[in-house]
Amino acid sequence: MTQEELDALMAGGLDDEDVALEDDKNDDAEKDEALIVDVKNYRVSADAAWPPPPPTEDHKMVHQLDDVTRDSEAKATEMLEKLEEINNYFMDSEGSCVALKGGLDKNIEIFTTLRDKFPAVGAFSEALERNEALKSSIDEVISNLQMGQDEIMMAMDMMQYQDIHRQKIERVINVMRALSKYMNTLFEGKIDDDKRVGSAVHIAGDTTTDDLVSNDDIEALIESLGKK
């Protein structure tokens, strides 16, 4: 209630019905202002049932789902390619380690023969021990590389779920598009919208009385219909 209304009420210029009516109008105005959508600052919230989001690019659901499926599929493909490259590096490293192991086996064979023929020469025994220790390290590296390849294969298998998720999203998109086409067909009219008569903002019987259709508007409407 405004100060003017309060002063009029104290002076007896407004009755209770006038005050209640004015309060209702103020409440309606506040509700109307609450329904105004700020397009630039709009944020989707699960708590707000109304108003719906404006039809901007950021709120077009099918567009966004299409973007999700496209981008996620592209990133999943890139990820699989990277995993395959890493697996190839592991395989090449394993092959190099096997070649090194073959050279160490040859060294071990030679130093074993020399140690047996010249047991007094300690250098042969030391060289044999070093080569045997290196061979053990090479075996451990090969084992780690093989386990790394196994982990990569499991990661690639898990990435296959990405395709399943994409198919689920595409199924949702197809349902949404089917519903959209059904609703468009359901509300389809026989008259083009540009040939329809414009609707009045307010008509008699509404709770508001502003911008009512005047007699001149009605006569103009009848005249326009007679010319068709």
Q: What is the pTM of this model?
A: 0.56
Per-residue tens of pLDDT for the chain, all 228 residues: 455 555 554 555 445 555 455 555 555 555 544 445 565 666 666 666 666 677 777 778 888 888 888 998 899 899 999 999 999 999 999 999 999 999 999 999 999 999 999 988 999 999 999 999 999 999 999 999 999 999 999 999 888 888 888 889 999 999 989 998 998 888 888 887 777 766 666 666 666 655 555 667 667 766 766 655
The contacts of residue 19 (CB under 8 Å, 6+ apart) are 1, 5, 9
